[in-house]
Amino acid sequence: MSVVEIVRFAVRGLVANRLRSLLTMLGIIIGIAAVILLTALGNGASQYIQGQIAGLGANSITVLPRQPPETAGTSGRPLTTGDVQALADPQGAPDVASVSPVVQLSTSVDAGRSRTDAIVVGSTPSYFPGANVQVGTGRAYTDVDVEAGRKVVLLGRTVADDLFGVGSDPVGRDVLVRGVPFDVIGTLAPAGQGQGLANPDENVLAPITAVQGSLTGFGDLSQIVVQARSTEAQAAAESEINSILDRRHGIEDSENRDYQVLSARQLADVLDDTLGAFTLLLAAIAAISLVVGGIGITNIMLVSVTERTREIGIRKALGAPPSAILGQFLVESIILSVVGGVLGVAVGYAGTLVPLGDFRPVVLPSAVVAAVGVSAAIGIFFGAYPARRAARLRPIEALRRE
């Protein structure tokens, strides 16, 4: 009794019950396709969001003033140039690459007949790498511009489009910021959507001295932008910032801080946690459908063996050894789960090729392996169990079953 004969019997058994075999396989196909598709969705969403966060500037840290809670008993101190100098000290903050003081105001900007609203950001040249802002046309302002308090600006893409027409190059023109004339020395590269905290397209960048001198006065800072030495150094840089500012602001309990530190990393952590939970949820749903598929095989194998107990009896009476009976049913369930598994992977993979909005599902190889493995294991185990029982029956007992 060769393996070939056993396989032939198994195939004949499956073909003789074509519809039932197909329906069983359908259960496995749906289960496996669901696992692959749902985990791919979670994975794709996670990769998409991580990509978006990387666009925020992975090394960038923003320090903002904050109203401390009432229990702190103080209204808190503002952020000052003193804070900037302390953070720029390489002794106290070795993981900080640059520190940029920022003053901001939201105001109208005029160019001849057109006018628009924009956020004017006054800072130092280190702001450009620090906030991950690129120059599109013209040049960035320099330390010389800052020291001299020159009234020069770079316009964000949207601002330039609104004032001078879409795609125009306004370098060399003049604008009035709250009535004060500034020279346009450049534009910012379009950042597009998804830049998170601030959208540079709607910003107007100018030297901090010029903004303070003619617009806001020399008061407190709106924020401090810090650049960490590297992505890896970001967490260290954040804790250095915390300890320096806590000391300077006299804060003992971190709950009572009068400032907050924001970074892309924190955002990524929060989103990662959320996405992790989301993926887990999808995986749980998928696992349920897989179990349902597995129960499908089990059910069919039980029915198949029970229904064919008589046939098993005949085969035994004609001299089939127990191993041949066991083998036949085992091979039947293996064929069902393997063919169903392969088709399920194909269907699931095909499903992931459909783009959903901005992101694409990304297949997790581990999910494929787990799905196919689990369904095959369920199929084989529960296929083997009734077959083993049948193979052990005395021929006459098997023959008597109806």
Partner 1 sequence: MTGTGVTNVLDVRKLSKVYGAGDTAVHALCDVDLTVRRGEYVAVIGHSGSGKSTLLNMLGCLDAPTSGRYLLEGLDVADLDERQQAVLRNRQIGFVFQAFNLIPRTTALANVELPLVYAGVGRRRRRERAMAALALVGLQGREDHRPNELSGGQQQRVAVARALVTSPALLLADEPTGNLDSQSTADALGLFDRLHASGRTIVLITHDDEVAERAERVVVVSDGRLSEAPARR
Kindly tell me which of 17 and 195 has the beta carbon lying closer to partner 1. Answer: 17
Q: For residue 356, what is the DSSP state?
A: B
Q: Under a CB-based contact definition with an 8 Å cutoff, are residues 203 and 152 in contact?
A: no
Comparing C-alpha atoms, which of 385, 389, 384, 386 is closest to residue 334? 384
Q: Work out how close the CB of 16 gets to partner 1 at its nearest, in angstroms, rounded to a whole number.
A: 5
Whether the CB-CB separation of 312 and 393 falls below 8 Å is answered with: yes
Angle at 91 between CA 89 and CA 97, to 5 degrees: 55
Distance between CA atoms of residues 149 and 183, nearest Å: 12
Contacts of 19 (CB under 8 A, 6+ apart): none
Helices (H) and strands (E) in the chain, counts: 13, 10
Is there a contact between 398 and 312 (Cβ–Cβ < 8 Å)?
yes
- Bridge partners (DSSP) of residue 188 are 135
Q: How far is the CB of 18 from partner 1 (least distance, A)?
A: 11
Of the pair 336, 398, the CB lying nearest partner 1 is at 398
**Positions that interact with partner 1 (CB under 8 A):** 1-2, 5, 12, 16, 310-311, 313-324, 392, 394-397, 399
Smallest separation, CB 383 to partner 1 (Å): 20
Rounded to a whole number of angstroms, the minimum distance from the CB of residue 17 to partner 1 is 9
Smallest separation (angstroms) from partner 1 to the CB of 324: 7
Min dist. Cβ of residue 397 to partner 1 (A) = 8
Q: What residues contact residue 364 under an 8 Å CB cut-off, 6+ apart?
A: 36, 39, 40, 43
> What distance in Å separates the CA atoms of residue 287 and residue 284, rounded to the nearest whole number?
5
Nearer to partner 1, 9 or 128 (CB): 9
Whichever of 320 and 378 has its CB closer to partner 1, that residue is 320
Which C-beta is closer to partner 1: that of 15 or that of 354?
15
Among residues 14 and 111, whose Cβ is nearest to partner 1? Answer: 14
